[in-house]
Amino acid sequence: MTLTGKGMMIWQIPNCESGNVNTIANMAAAGGFSHILIKIADGSYAYNRDKTTGADLIPPLVSALRAKGIGVWGWHYIYGVNPTGEASIAINQMKKYGMDGYVIDAEAEFEKSGMTTAASTYMSALRAGLPSTPIALCSFRWPTYHPSFPWKAFLDKCDLNMPQVYWMSAHNPATQLTRSLTEFQAISPFRPLTPTGPAFYESSWAPTADEVVSFLNTAKNLGMTAANFFSWDDCRKNLPA
């Protein structure tokens, strides 16, 4: 499958435009975003619920975005401790919202010994429950730095790869994205890249506007049809009055 355009990841809906779904949708449309990726689960639990009432915050946002013609994907941080439970909540949430695609955020927990089995169990159950849904992996940018991560177990059943090309403490997005593509082309299976760039600050570092443009232009020059950023929550903090 092919994903096109710019996307933005949302972590916690209340931290995005004070939770006003119409403002989020209007700004996404004004910013030219083709799709928004909303966190739908953490481990084996549903995510983005009101902490006081337990109300599900996701359906109103999905409706507002779709009214603007914006695609909606779900993303999910997994730990591998309960792979069948994590797959089950993913399947339930995706079917509940009817989202366009699903993104697996798997990171350091899967570098531990024995996690290939957990990854395979999760992916088999996930794909069985979502046989026609586009699925993407969102993990480390350079596989050579993470040789114990079960790349094949995840990518075998994925359609896309959305590596986190965060050039923290540096200012070279083009170099880092080019390296990410080269490294993933060297492992099997290769899946088309839709890279995820940084839209956050860490300590005294933040990506500049020119670097974001360079990241997007490099993605286009490398033949990538889409790119995402993490996250709406962070990039809209501390705006000037």
Span 109-129, pLDDT tens digits: 999 999 999 999 999 999 999
What pLDDT is stored for residue 241 in this prediction? 47
Is residue 240 assigned to a domain?
Answer: no
Enclosing domain of residue 181: 5-235
Is residue 61 assigned to a domain?
Answer: yes
Length reported for the chain: 241
Gap between the Cα atoms of 87 and 211, Å rounded? 36
Is residue 241 assigned to a domain?
Answer: no
Report the percentage of the chain scoring pLDDT > 90.
Answer: 95
- Return the half-sphere exposure (C-beta side, CA atoms, 13 A cut-off) of residue 166: 16
* Amino acid symbol at 162: M
Alpha helix locations (H) across the chain? 21-30, 58-67, 83-97, 115-129, 151-155, 173-185, 209-221, 232-235
pLDDT band at 239 (very low <50, low <70, confident <90, very high): low
With a cut of 90, say whether residue 50 has pLDDT above it: yes
Is residue 150 assigned to a domain?
Answer: yes
Report the number of distinct structural domains present in the chain: 1
pLDDT band at 130 (very low <50, low <70, confident <90, very high): very high
DSSP 81: S
Is residue 171 assigned to a domain?
Answer: yes
With a cut of 80, say whether residue 1 has pLDDT above it: no
Count of beta carbons in the 10 Å neighbourhood of residue 241: 2
CA angle 81, 128, 137 (to 5 degrees): 60
102 contact partners, CB below 8 Å, separation of at least 6: 73, 74, 75, 76, 90, 94, 126, 130, 133, 134, 135, 136
At 100, which CATH number?
3.20.20.80
Is residue 18 assigned to a domain?
Answer: yes
Average pLDDT score, the chain: 97
Gap between the Cα atoms of 119 and 101, Å rounded? 19
Is residue 129 assigned to a domain?
Answer: yes
Is residue 126 assigned to a domain?
Answer: yes
DSSP 53: T
pLDDT band at 215 (very low <50, low <70, confident <90, very high): very high
